[in-house]
Amino acid sequence: MAIIEIENLTYTYPVENFPALHGVNLRVEEGEWVVVSGENEAGKSTLCCIIAGLIPSVYRGKLEGTVRLCSLDVCQASRKDLIHRVGMVMQNPFHQISGGRFTVAEEVAFGLENLGVPRPEMHWRVNDMLAQVGIAHLARCSPFSLSGGQQQLVALAAALVMHPEVLVLDEPTSQLDPQASQKVLAVVQDLQKQGLTVVLVEHRLEWAAEFASRLVILEKGTICADGLPAQVFAGLAGRASGVHFPAVTLLGFQARREGLWPAGRPLPVTIEQAVRGFRR
Amino acid sequence: MFDAAPGGWLYHLNPLTKLSVSLAFILLAFLLPSPLVSLGLFCLAILPLSLWGGITLPMLNACLRLVAPAAGVLLVVQGLFYPGGQTAALRAGPLVFWQEGLAYAGLISVRLLIMVSAFSILLATTPPAKLAMALQQAGLPATFAYVLAAALQLLPEARQRALVILKAQRARGLRVSGSLLARARAVLPLVVPMISSTLVMAEERAVALELRAFRSGVKPTTYYEIEDAGVERTVRWLCGLLVLAAGIYRLWL
Ligand SMILES: Nc1ncnc2c1ncn2[C@@H]1O[C@H](COP(=O)(O)OP(=O)(O)OP(=O)(O)O)[C@@H](O)[C@H]1O
Ligand SMILES: [Mg+2]
């Protein structure tokens, strides 16, 4: 049973003439880690909003085709049912702070408060999540006093504390330094190993390809490639797709052209794969 | 409940108590016609409270910046032009300062002093979000409480960000002189990122709130309970009674 089922989706924002997504088909199984990439304006954020259940209830517009999240049809399900199941972290850490709370702990609890979760349950869930994300020591700080990386961890904790089945991350590390980015992704990786389904939009495939079980490339609102990272890279070779290939993969291409890498062997995506490939 | 507490024990009081006491001081100053009452309130209540909380200096600083200039203007204007002026207090050439005018200016200034000092104690020792939370606990709808706290917390933050943009634009050679058109053209690159980032912020934050079930139709719970000791409730009742008594005194005596 797929956890995300998108069939023949075409979506147009209100007052826009052209669809932001069209003819999109995507099935994601439980526990997968899907990385989505593509050039600017390709529709990546729109796809995130679809998977986060924000369309059509929050962003209106015209939706054709079917979208089912955790077996719920987004056109029929209530916001409350969807909020429990899918969480999302966006690009800008500061803009995700609610602004109405004084401490990090309360900020993380905000979603639970709004769902009317009783106080004792809220306390253990928040404390658990702060510890899991590694910001327990910041519980009593003001969210405004934190660095961008720490704020993004707060946003992550705030999404995860709702215990979602699917986590959508829309370029969550594009405004962070490499160290902070590593931290955010390490937390996500941990949870994915415990069964969380992850959809991550990322430009820097360099490291996204390392943990992705699947790579989806969007181009002008349609999916132009979908599969194992190595397959996708092989398929895109020589095309202008706006995708930044990892350096090891480029090395693989070159090696193949020079006869150092057999044509039948999948292209390397990580450094280990390259090393193993060259050893053989 | 919170770390880094300015104002010592004042910080830990229920914000509603601080709000009630501040409002009571202000209402008393306005209801009782003698400036001596207000002065007494300042010296015998507000000043000791601020000393106790260790925030006298910022409080006096606020008074100096806000009340002193207003008092100066009031003394000159009311002293010279008070309509019912009869007793001359001071003559400087052709100018006459009337005693009644000076007294009136004094009264208004002292009331201003109470207003500014009382509120500066409240604000210096109370995070806006905590005040909003206390109001919510007392029955204010959660949406209002959120809007109040977010406005009070986000506006200074947004201003800070605008200043950062201004600095960046200046560093890139923004000139703010020349003809009107030239100036308008120069300011444009400053205003555009400011407005657009505010707009995006509003939209992104709206989505972020949506994802966290804001206004989901359920009655929200709160993560912290703001303590409300019995003594504090008594103090609030006393404040109400005092104001009531002053009102009756004002109306009938
Ligand atoms: N809220 C909106 N209202 C109307 N049109 C929108 C909205 N958001 C995005 N669009 C349009 O939809 C298309 C796809 O945008 P989207 O933000 O999904 O792309 P993206 O791949 O995330 O781009 P980027 O790499 O810049 O983040 C664009 O043409 C954009 O102008
Ligand atoms: Mg985007």
pLDDT for A25: 95
ipTM over 0.85: yes
Within-domain flag for B222 = no
With a pLDDT cut of 90, the percent of chain A lying above it is 59
Mean pLDDT within A11-23: 92
Nearest CA in chain A to B157: A144
Q: Give the mean model confidence (pLDDT) for residues A220-244.
A: 84
Residue B216 lies in a domain: no
Question: B13 and B121 in one domain?
Answer: yes
pLDDT for the residue numbered B2: 41
Ligand 2 centroid, distance to A41 Cα (angstroms): 7
pLDDT category at B1 given cuts 50, 70, 90 is very low
Structure confidence at residue A121 as a pLDDT band (50, 70, 90)? very high
B3: in domain:
no
Structure confidence at residue A267 as a pLDDT band (50, 70, 90) = confident
Q: Where residue B7 falls among pLDDT bands split at 50, 70, 90?
A: low
Residues B46, B148, single domain; the answer is: no
**B101 is a domain residue:** yes
For range B142-165, the mean pLDDT? 81
Question: CB–CB of B209 and A98 under 8 A?
Answer: yes
By percentage, how much of chain A surpasses pLDDT 70?
A: 100
- Domain residues for the domain of B184 are 134-211
- B104-125, pLDDT tens digit by residue? 999 999 999 999 999 999 988 9
Structure tokens at A118: 């009783």
Q: Tell how far the Cα of A254 is from the centroid of ligand 2, in angstroms.
A: 31
Atom of ligand 1 nearest to the CA of A46: 18
Summarised one tens digit per residue, pLDDT across range B64-95 is 999 999 999 999 998 888 887 788 888 888 88
Q: Least CB-CB distance to A105: which of B128, B209, B223?
A: B223
Kindly give, in sequence order, each residue whose CB lies less than 8 Å from that of residue B143, ignoring residues fewer than 6 positions away: B215
Whether B17 and B113 map to the same domain: the answer is yes
Co-location of B178 and B240 in the same domain:
no
**B73 with B178, same domain?**
no
Asked if the structure places residue B2 within a domain, the reply is: no
For the whole model, what pTM was predicted?
Answer: 0.85
Query: What tokens appear for A16 in the block?
Result: 């826009």
**Mean pLDDT along residues A150-171:** 95
The overall average pLDDT reported for chain A is: 91
- Tell whether B192 and B70 lie within a shared domain: no
Question: Is there a single domain that holds both residue B139 and residue B242?
Answer: no
Tens of pLDDT, residue by residue over B184-237, are 776 666 666 666 666 556 788 889 999 999 988 888 999 999 888 899 999 999
- Is residue B66 assigned to a domain? yes
For residues A215-228, average pLDDT: 92
B1, part of any domain: no
Contact residues on chain B for A117, CB-CB shorter than 8 A: 221
Q: How many structural domains does chain B have?
A: 2
Tell me which residues have their CB closer than 6 angstroms to ligand 1. Answer: A 13, 16, 20, 38, 40-46
**Whether residue B118 is found in the same domain as residue B236:** yes
Ligand nearest to the CA of A218: 1
Query: B20 and B108: one domain?
Result: yes
Q: Do B88 and B192 share a structural domain?
A: no
Which pLDDT band holds residue B6 (cuts at 50, 70, 90)? Answer: low
Looking at residue A31, what is its pLDDT? Answer: 93
Q: Which of B215, B219, B223 sits opposite A106 (nearest CB)?
A: B223
Task: Return the pLDDT at B111.
Answer: 93
Considering the domain architecture, whether residues B13 and B114 belong to the same structural domain is answered as yes
Please enumerate in sequence order all residues whose Cβ is within 8 A of that of A78, keeping only pairs 6 or more positions apart, or say none: none
pLDDT digits 0-9 by tens, A44-103: 999 999 999 998 888 888 999 999 999 999 999 888 889 989 999 999 898 899 988 999
Domain shared by B101 and B154, yes or no: no
Mean pLDDT of chain B: 85
What pLDDT is stored for residue B5 in this prediction? Answer: 57
Structural domain contains residue B36: yes
Check residue A203 and give its pLDDT.
86
The CA A170 to ligand 1 mean position distance, Å, reads 12
Shortest Cα distance from A79 to chain B (angstroms)? Answer: 8
Contacts of A100 in chain B (CB under 8 A): 129, 132, 145-147, 149-150, 153
